Amino acid sequence: MKVRSLFACSILLSAIGGIANATTYTLPENSNDSVITQFHDDVPLTRVEQNETLPDVARRFLLGQTEIVRLNPDVDRWQVKKDEIVRLSNRRILPDTPHEGITLNIAEYRMYYYPPTQKGVAPQVMSYAHGIGRQDWKTPLGKTSIVQKVKDPAWHPPESIRREHAANGDPLPAVVQPGPHNPLGAYMLHLAVPGGYLIHGTDIDKIYGIGMQITHGCVRMYPEDIEALYNSVPVGTPVYMVKQPIKVGWLDNTLYIEAHPDLEGEETTLEQKLDVALKLIQKADSQNMPEFDRGVLKQALTVLDGNPVALYQRLPQKALPVSVPTGHGSKGGYYHGV
């Protein structure tokens, strides 16, 4: 890993100081490409300015805790020393879903929101870290939609959750009023899923749990992220809830793979991961199997750090001359090769 100068790190910090810049990606010009990039640097780094923790760094850059821990396996999660270098996320492969509404890929603890295209503005996608349901309260999968939006919601804990808290010596009231200790935070999006599943904010007590598998099935977001999402999406917005721990996508004729660990309570072997990855690679290359370094693929499926890795580079597709029969009103022309 190339460690840059303090000056370069300062540029990086100033470049992503704004919340919008930290989560907004311009979609690739080629509509068939699905790899998005945040920074010009292949491996963006930051130098911490004071002793803190990796969750502190994740909070500052709106990353999930699990995500930043995976990217920094040699950094002490609870004791990052002043001037220590921390690696940040950069590239992401978009989940294999329609580029509309919201996609929740619970396998990577991350959400993708595709705002409506505006005239004169390149298509964009907003990406947010979020927490998901733990093993015994799994977040459901499938297509749904937002059916209600509530600001400053009161929380009515289900009886099952009240029993759980009572058993742990932490009884809950029948209603938790809005405020800094309300687990729903200040904004709530109600999904059309039986059981009352929500996308919501968080209270000050659990803010460092974003990007972890800790909720009772709902999707929990940072306060500023849920506020931005709440103010952007209307009722009726489609929501795709998927679990794609392995993703494959193109960017500028290079094929990338991104792999994440299994969720708690799930376990797949390396052979099973390889089988899934090979099928995705073949699908991405029009059902052909390109010649690529199998060692790079195996390494990505072993490390499972969620960082897209280049597998294969194809020749650029060029515009080829095409002979057009005369006598039919045509003057000849060029078509792009496929």
Task: Record the tokens describing residue 156, joined without a space.
Answer: 């009515």
Overall size of the chain counted in residues: 338
Cα–Cα dist 244/104, whole Å = 10
Q: Where are the alpha helices (DSSP H) in the chain?
A: 6-15, 19-23, 54-60, 65-71, 159-167, 223-230, 270-284, 294-303
Measured from the Cβ of residue 218, the count of other Cβ atoms closer than 10 Å reads: 22
Cα–Cα dist 334/324, whole Å = 9
Considering only CA atoms, which of 199, 174, 196 is closest in space to residue 184?
199
Contact 281, 290 (CB under 8 A): yes
Residue 171: strand pairing partners: none
Active site (annotated) includes residue 165 = no
Annotated catalytic residue: which of 130, 190, 200, 216?
200
Give the orientation angle of helix 294-303 with respect to helix 270-284, to 10 degrees: 120
Considering only CA atoms, which of 296, 256, 232, 277 is closest in space to residue 91?
256
Considering only CA atoms, which of 37, 35, 38, 36 is closest in space to residue 15?
38
Annotated catalytic residue: which of 9, 190, 216, 218?
218
Active site (annotated) includes residue 218 = yes
Contact 132, 119 (CB under 8 A): no
Residue that is written with structure tokens 């007590």 in the block = 205
Catalytic residue numbers read 200, 218
